[in-house]
Structure 1
Amino acid sequence: MRSARGYKSSGFTLVEMVTVIIILGVMMLGVSSFVIIGTRIFVDSTSVDQVLSQSRFVIERMTREIRNAVPNSLRVTENPVSFQCIEFVPIQASASYLDLPISPGVASETGIVMTPSQGINLEHRMLVYPLQISHIYSATPTASEGRLFDIDEYDDTTNTVTFDHAVRFSEASPRSRFFMVDQAVSYCFFANGNIRRYTGYDMFNDDQPTPTDMGGDASSALMAENVVIDGSWPILYTPGTLINNAVVQLTPQFEVNEQEFQYQHQVQVVNVP
């Protein structure tokens, strides 16, 4: 007769299982909190870095273009509620002229110039001695006398420019300098936080055009966001004088994730037409 043997079963009690689940839950809660916080820090820092990069880019781009603006071509306008814009005409090429038809001389269809390092593009216009904003934006290239004219031909072997009709420039440049120009450029700061760059619109306007006149958002490039307009607009323009260059003061303020930073940037425009 076989004797009965006792068997000892192995396993976890309900209390042990509940204890393990609670411990694992607390651990997972701590780990998930750490991951969430780390992710949030990463997202916030990425957003800040993105706004910083955009702001540096637009300030650097504006600085380079404004420094290359035609003397006396800058003008600033603002709408107290919606926007502030700065407009200027970039220099496409520049050099000295040797012989141009200039008042009080007779009009002529030809002139002799030195070839700029950038060359002469027949799509551009020749500008000589602009002293006022109206000399550029109110110019009539089809007129017989003025400061801005179209070029029909250019012979780089004889350095001869040919205009599409007989012309006469209003005044001679003291440094015998001419500029080749194409289109105006505008940078606009909006109350909604955007900075946009406009070009390709009609530059011959007595009054500085508004963003709507320049074609609105459809014809512009978004350069930066998150600008804060806190009581004053970020562009201050001081025209040049006989002893001082023109100065553009840029003080845009940006905000992201409740962090604010502001630029204090000054751009000088050489006032030598």
Structure 2
Amino acid sequence: MQALIRPASRLPSRKLKQLRGRGFTLVEMVTVIIILGVLVLGVSSFLIFGTRIFIDATSVDKVMSQSRFAIERMTRELRNAVPNSIRVRDSGDGAWQCVEMMPIISSASYMDMPIAPDPASQFGSLMQSSAAAPLTADQFLLIYPLSPADVYTSTAGTQGKLFSIDSVTADNLKNDISIDFGRAVRFDEASPRQRYFGVQSAVSYCFEQVTPELSLLKRYADYGFNHPNLQPAPADMGTGVLMAENVVNTIGSNSPMAYTPGTLRNNAMVHLNPLFDVQGQSFQYHHQVQVINVP
């Protein structure tokens, strides 16, 4: 008996075309991958470039803000320094350069003080300070400083220009105060304008070399001031506060600071010329600070 063999059923051509339309060929897949790769590469490059620009701009802005703040802070303290108290020193080997000053805490006119050739006395009277902070017992009284040696030496004896104060008694009705030095003292010279200064501690700004091409600016305070002949090195002033970085001046040949002493006709001048470099961009300040000489 002969079996009947039926031919395999065939899908209609319309359905076959529909099934073929749902897939894609290898060429199409490779083409899509190439296109997506190019798009991803372009977008990622754009994002990386934009991020790099933002980081560079932020770094430059940070250094510029630090430098402006540091220069402004130095300027204000230099202008408020005791006359003839500015002195600049460098290490000699390019390791650091410092400017030291004695800030004025209080200042006004004195009325009756023991001044040579008058005899020494334990007491004195002077006017209250109005523009600055009041004179207190934790300050030192300074009269007629003509050199840094007069400013940075507290006198333990009976004659000098700078003495510690034992107590202060204020008379608000008369707007004056009485000073008790705790011992008999006598000041060397009288101020032509009868001016006194109340001081407390010296302040220094130091450019310190970290590498041969890079320096930092630090501020030092509260380290005392009994250094009449030679201002202290940064290592002798304790821990400084970082004020600015990325300074690239070569200390010694292109120092960030210079000092012109005052004369009878001109005030003293501090020249600030720090050079900053960040992300390959350099900018330099050329700033002059005038310091009064009238004691």
TM over 0.5: yes
- Other structure's SS at 1:164 match: strand
- Structure 2 counterpart of 1:83: 96
Aligned positions of 1:1-150 closer than 5 A: 4-6=10-12, 7-8=15-16, 9=19, 10-79=22-91, 80-117=93-130, 118-140=133-155, 142-150=156-164
2:148 & 2:10 partners in 1: Cα distance? 115
2:136 & 2:28 partners in 1: Cα distance? 86
**Which structure has the larger Rg?**
2
The answer to whether the Cα contact below 8 Å between 1:130 and 1:147 also exists between their aligned partners in 2 is yes
Paired AA for residue 172 in structure 1 = A
- Other structure's SS at 2:294 match: coil
Paired AA for residue 119 in structure 1 = P
- Structure 2 counterpart of 1:161: 179
Structure 1 residue ranges, 4+ long, deviating more than 2 angstroms after superposition: 3-8
Unaligned runs of 5+ in 1: none
The answer to whether the Cα contact below 8 Å between 1:72 and 1:271 also exists between their aligned partners in 2 is yes
The answer to whether the Cα contact below 8 Å between 1:191 and 1:229 also exists between their aligned partners in 2 is no
Cα displacement string for residues 124-160 of structure 1 (whole angstroms, at most 9, x for unaligned residues): 11100000111122332x2111111111111111621
- Structure 2 counterpart of 1:190: 208
Compute the displacement of 1:4 (Å): 4.4
Count how many residue pairs are aligned between Structure 1 and Structure 2. 269
Cα displacement string for residues 85-115 of structure 1 (whole angstroms, at most 9, x for unaligned residues): 0111000010000110100001111111000
The answer to whether the Cα contact below 8 Å between 1:152 and 1:162 also exists between their aligned partners in 2 is yes
Paired AA for residue 198 in structure 2 = M
Compute the displacement of 1:11 (Å): 1.1
Paired AA for residue 229 in structure 1 = N
Give the structure-1-normalised TM-score: 0.95
Paired AA for residue 236 in structure 1 = A
1:228 & 1:190 partners in 2: Cα distance? 10
Q: Which moved more, 1:204-213 or 1:48-57?
A: 204-213
Cα displacement string for residues 202-253 of structure 1 (whole angstroms, at most 9, x for unaligned residues): 31113111111213xxx11011000012431111101111111000000000
- Structure 1 counterpart of 2:3: none
The answer to whether the Cα contact below 8 Å between 1:236 and 1:250 also exists between their aligned partners in 2 is yes
Paired AA for residue 260 in structure 1 = S
- Other structure's SS at 1:191 match: strand
- Other structure's SS at 1:201 match: coil
The answer to whether the Cα contact below 8 Å between 2:110 and 2:127 also exists between their aligned partners in 1 is yes
1:66 & 1:4 partners in 2: Cα distance? 101
Cα displacement string for residues 23-71 of structure 1 (whole angstroms, at most 9, x for unaligned residues): 0110010000000000000000000000000100100000000000001
The answer to whether the Cα contact below 8 Å between 2:275 and 2:284 also exists between their aligned partners in 1 is yes
The answer to whether the Cα contact below 8 Å between 2:142 and 2:196 also exists between their aligned partners in 1 is yes
1:107 & 1:114 partners in 2: Cα distance? 20
Paired AA for residue 240 in structure 2 = S
**Percent identity between the aligned chains?**
55
Compute the displacement of 1:81 (Å): 2.1
- Structure 2 counterpart of 1:228: 248
Q: RMSD across aligned C-alpha pairs, in angstroms?
A: 1.5
Compute the displacement of 1:189 (Å): 0.6
2:59 & 2:41 partners in 1: Cα distance? 27
- Other structure's SS at 1:69 match: coil
